Each structure stands twice: as structure tokens, then as C-alpha cells.
């Protein structure tokens, strides 16, 4: 079955078409929402406008026949009160296309889309049915969760203040990079080989990251290089995630660990985490960041399972 996925997050407009039986991505396009230089985000009304404009253009390119279902993310998380207006643009498009094609719409969350795209990329079918630990680390979340059946079933812990992606983006914008700035921060961090000392703040399954922003500001004021400060920022995040994973494993056992979200596309973070937790599974950057492939795959699996 071929499925179409639509994801309209607070950062990007994404459309994906997947030939699920042959494990093939037929079409995948993502466009970051434009943000003015020096700004670190968009108001929701502006995001809605940009999504409408992007979807009109992107969907005009998708001349694929045989689509059997439409998947769409309609909220940030799999929680009852989770809501963000920008997801309504994708929902409207999904139901309009489905009505024209006479196919079902499968609603999901942005977070489950991240999980499903990660499992699709890892390509181990048994992971869709077993229990695992998932981390979703981006500009809007730093969550560690239990997942099972290809769906998030419980959020165990999170950042109690600043999200990891916010810390990275704020540092990047201060250094003159456009928003979102994660790619640029990671590229600079790769150039630094200095030993980094950090004192993280993790209590149980939760963490605090507001101190990270203050420490990065202090290092810049003290004259440390941009490369060093970027490396410090990503090292702090990686060690925080390691400690959260270890704390969960104490109570839930050595479950498979999957890491997704835009911040997890950093090769620096991947290297630090896998050095301590070798079984941690990362995915290719295009499917770690916001994307609609997982939303399309989720639609296929829901229809397949009735």
C-alpha cells in the first residue's frame, strides 16, 4: 500500500509518500518555515499562513497514483490536551485529499510520527511490537518515554525548564546563524577536540537545561572560541540524555533505546551517547528531524492492522 503523510509542525512543512510493502520513500519534501534574522521562532498565525503556502506548492508536485490512505499529525503529543493551531493546516489538507480520493485519514501525533519514522529507518520490524525507550529531543520537547506497538504509551520524564533544541537554537542565533540553528552549531562543534567538563542537572527521569544557556553565555563572555562553546553545549545535552536513559534503565531494564528529533541529528551527540550506550539507535538526519515519512508509515500500519 502507498500512503501519503502530512506534518505541519512549528518548524517545518513536510509531505511524504511511502511505498510501504517495498520499504521505499517515493516522495519526501520538507521546508522550514521562514524566520526573520535574529528571531528564535514564529507566532502561530504566521506559521499557519506559511504552512498553507508551502502545502499548496509541495502537494502540487505529488502526482502519485494508488494512494490508499492519508496520514496526518494533528497535535504535538499523544495527550488529550495537546494542541497547536499550525497542525490544523495539515489536517484540513489531509481530509480534503482523502475525500477526493475516497480513502481513509489516519490521525496521529507529531511525536508518534518521529517514533515511526525512526523505526522505519532502523528497519527492524520487531521493534514495532516490543517495548522500548524513546527520546524525542527537539526545539519543543526533551522527553524520555516508553513506546510499544509503534506508539508512545507513557512519558516518563522531560526537561523541567528549557528544551534542548531551544538551548541549541538560542546559542546559534547569538552566533549569527539563522533559525533553526542546530546544523550550524553541530558543524562548529565538530571542529573542537578539547576535553569538555560539564556538571549536568538530572533528577530521576527529569532534567534542567536553563543553566546550560547561562553557562554558554558565560563562556562566550570569557572569550572561549565559538567551536568550544558549541561543543560544550552539545556535550552537556548528550551527557544529560545519557543520565536520563541510565536512570530509566535502572527501573525498566535494558530495553532498546531509540533517539529522534532534530537535536538527535547531531553527529557530536551521537558519538558521545553511543560511546556510553552502544545499543542506542540513531537514525539518518532527514528522518530524525521533522518529517512526514513516519506519519505516512503510521497510516499504513494502522490500516493494515484494522
Tens digit of each residue's pLDDT (9 = 90 or more) over 22-32: 999 999 999 99
> Which residues have a Cβ under 8 Å from the Cβ of 195 and sit 6 or more positions away?
none
pLDDT mean over 36-64: 92
How many angstroms separate the Cα of 131 from the Cα of each of 45, 142, 150, 153, 258?
A: 38, 20, 9, 9, 11
Q: What is the pLDDT of residue 86?
A: 96
Return the CATH architecture of domain 132-287.
2-Layer Sandwich (3.30)
pLDDT mean over 136-150: 95
pLDDT mean over 111-128: 95
Q: What is the pLDDT of residue 80?
A: 85
> Burial level of 148, CB count in 10 A (0-12/13-18/19+)?
middle
Which fold, 2-125+290-304? Nucleotidyltransferase; domain 5 (3.30.420)
Pairing of strands 142-148, 151-157: antiparallel
pLDDT mean over 181-196: 96
Supply φ then ψ for residue 255, to 5 degrees: -75, 155
To which residue does cell 518529517 refer? 291
Residue 288: DSSP 8-state: H
CB-based contact 135:245 (threshold 8 Å): yes
> Which residues have a Cβ under 8 Å from the Cβ of 217 and sit 6 or more positions away?
174
Q: What percent of the chain has pLDDT over 90?
A: 92
Residue range(s) occupied by CATH 3.30.420.40 in the chain: 2-125+290-304, 132-287
Give tens-digit pLDDT for 59-106.
998 889 999 999 999 999 988 889 999 999 999 999 999 999 999 999
Reported as a pLDDT band with limits 50, 70 and 90, residue 142 is very high
- Decide which of 79 and 236 is more confident: 236
* pTM of the entire predicted model: 0.94
Q: What is the pLDDT of residue 211?
A: 95
Is the pLDDT at 306 greater than 90? The verdict is no
Q: What is the pLDDT of residue 42?
A: 86
Per-residue burial over 221-260, b = 16 or more CB atoms within 10 Å of its CB, e = otherwise: eeebebbbbbbbbbbbbbbbbbbbbebbeeeeeebbbbbb
Amino acid at each position: 500500500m502507498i500512503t501519503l503523510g502530512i506534518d505541519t509542525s512549528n518548524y517545518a512543512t513536510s509531505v511524504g509518500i511511502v511505498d510501504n510493502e517495498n520499504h521505499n520513500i517515493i516522495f519526501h519534501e520538507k521546508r522550514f518555515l521562514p524566520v526573520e534574522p535574529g528571531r528564535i521562532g514564529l507566532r502561530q498565525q504566521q506559521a499557519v499562513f506559511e504552512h498553507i503556502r508551502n502545502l499548496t506548492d509541495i502537494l502540487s508536485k505529488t502526482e502519485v497514483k494508488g494512494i490508499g490512505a492519508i496520514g496526518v499529525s494533528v497535535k504535538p503529543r499523544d495527550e488529550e490536551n495537546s494542541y497547536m493551531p499550525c497542525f490544523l493546516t495539515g489536517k484540513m489538507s489531509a481530509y480534503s485529499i482523502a475525500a477526493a480520493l475516497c480513502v481513509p485519514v489516519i490521525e496521529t501525533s507529531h511525536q508518534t510520527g518521529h517514533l515511526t519514522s525512526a523505526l522505519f529507518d532502523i528497519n527492524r520490524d520487531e521493534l514495532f511490537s516490543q517495548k522500548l525507550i524513546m527520546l524525542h529531543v527537539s526545539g519543543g520537547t526533551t522527553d524520555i518515554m516508553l513506546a510499544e506497538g509503534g506508539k508512545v504509551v507513557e512519558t516518563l520524564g522531560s526537561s523541567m525548564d528549557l528544551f534542548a533544541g531551544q538551548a541549541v537554537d538560542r546559542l546559534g542565533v547569538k552566533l549569527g546563524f539563522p533559525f533553526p540553528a542546530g546544523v550550524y552549531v553541530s558543524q562548529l562543534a565538530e571542529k573542537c577536540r578539547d576535553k569538555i567538563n560539564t556538571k549536568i542537572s538530572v533528577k530521576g527521569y527529569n532534567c534542567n537545561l536553563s543553566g546550560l544557556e547561562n553557562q554558554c553565555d558565560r563562556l562566550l563572555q570569557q572569550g572561549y572560541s565559538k567551536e568550544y562553546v558549541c561543543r560544550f553545549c552539545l556535550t552537556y545535552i548528550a551527557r544529560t540524555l545519557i543520565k536520563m536513559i541510565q536512570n530509566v534503565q535502572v527501573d525498566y531494564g535494558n530495553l532498546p533505546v531509540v533517539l529522534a528529533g532534530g537535536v538527535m541529528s547531531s553527529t557530536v551527540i551521537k558519538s558521545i551517547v553511543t560511546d556510553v550506550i552502544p545499543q542506542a539507535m540513531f537514525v539518518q538526519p532527514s528522518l530524525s528531524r521533522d518529517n512526514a515519512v513516519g506519519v505516512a508509515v503510521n497510516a499504513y500500519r494502522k490500516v493494515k492492522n484494522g
